[in-house]
Each structure stands twice: as C-alpha cells, then as structure tokens.
Amino acid sequence: MKILFDFFPVLAFFIAYYLPADRSQAIYIATAVAIIAAIIQVAGYWLMTRRFEKMHLITLALIVILGAATLLLHDKRFFMWKPTAVNWLFALAFLGSEFIGKKNMIQRMMDHAITVPQNVWLILNRSWTVFFFLMGALNLFVAYTFAENIWVNFKLFGMLGLTLLFAVVQAVYMSRYISDTGENKE
C-alpha cells in the first residue's frame, strides 16, 4: 500500500496523460495533475501521520518548481528532468551519508530489521548511489531519444520495474550474509 501511496503523483500523471483526446496538450494537463497529486500526497500523509516524509517533500518541491516552469514556459523538458533531478539528489544523499554520521543511508534505513557486516552496508549504499545516478542518466536518454509517450511509459513502468528489479537483486545479495539465527556470516 505504501508503494502505491509513494507513486501516487506518478500514477496520476500517467492516467492524466492518456485521458485527453487532444494529445498536443496531454503533457501539460498531466503535469498540472502531478502537481496537484503531489500536494494531496504530502497533505494526506501529514493528516494520517502528523509528520512529513523527506522523499515526499523533495518530490513535491521538484514537481512544483519544474512543473511550474513547464506550464509557464510551455516547455515539457523541464518536467522531463524531474525524475533525473530526484534520482541524482538521492544519489548525492546516499553518497554523502558515507561521510556524515556513523551509518550510511542504507544502513540507517535497514539496520533495525537486518544485521549484516559493515562492508556489506558500504557495498549496498554504493550500489544504490550508482543505481540512482544511472537511473537519472537513463531518464535523460529516454526523454531526449524517444517520443514523448515512450518517455511517459518509461517513467511509470520502466523506472518502477528497474527499481523493483534492483531491490530484488540487493535482497538476494544481502541474503548471503544473513543467517537463520540472525547472526552475520563472516
């Protein structure tokens, strides 16, 4: 359920993109819908939990800024940069976490649930850093190489699918270091 909530603005964008009969304005209608959906997402999360989630706030800020630029300047490239900006910010956050505090980002997110050796946390964190950087670059490649509707489909299905696949690969990698008793393999 949480993943659906996290992808609500992307899903709203996708649906809004394919609804209008006038294809020439679809990207702009979908951009406006994504802005509204992101505002609803952040407000809804706050109403349910009485707190904000950093990922939602970062996404909201980028959607509003790049979406507004897209709508005001009537230039879809601004909004097409949004997935790249989000992924590259995540890459920087994961990389920076290795130098700030005692735990890197992936360890902060997961060490309450699993225990693996310190070098595994470092490998996982660096893997996610590279993954986010590559996803940002891949988004630009698709946005500037293929038709708009291909990019829209990639934004939902391609990016989500690649992220889920990468998470499964990471889980398989981690499983080698987790024993049945919860102790680390050396």
Residues of the chain above pLDDT 90, percent = 79
Alpha-helical segments (H) within the chain = 2-6, 8-18, 26-49, 54-73, 77-80, 82-96, 105-110, 118-145, 148-153, 159-175
pLDDT for position 1 = 60
Q: How far is CA 162 from CA 78, 135, 137, 157, 179, in A?
A: 23, 9, 13, 8, 27
Answer yes or no: is pLDDT of 186 > 50: no
CA-closest candidate to residue 118, choices 103, 101, 100: 103
Residues of the chain above pLDDT 70, percent = 94
Mean pLDDT of the 85-100 span = 96
How do residues 124-155 score in pLDDT, each as one tens digit? Answer: 999 999 999 999 999 999 999 999 999 999 99
- At 21, is the pLDDT very low, low, confident or very high (cuts 50, 70, 90)? confident
Q: Tally the residues of the chain.
A: 186
Q: How far is CA 39 from CA 33, 99, 100, in A?
A: 10, 32, 30
CA gap 44, 31 in Å, rounded: 20
- Amino acid identity at 176: R
- At 4, is the pLDDT very low, low, confident or very high (cuts 50, 70, 90)? low
Instruction: Please state the pTM of the whole predicted model.
Output: 0.88
Asked if residues 25 and 74 have their Cβ atoms less than 8 Å apart, the reply is no
Asked if residues 132 and 167 have their Cβ atoms less than 8 Å apart, the reply is no
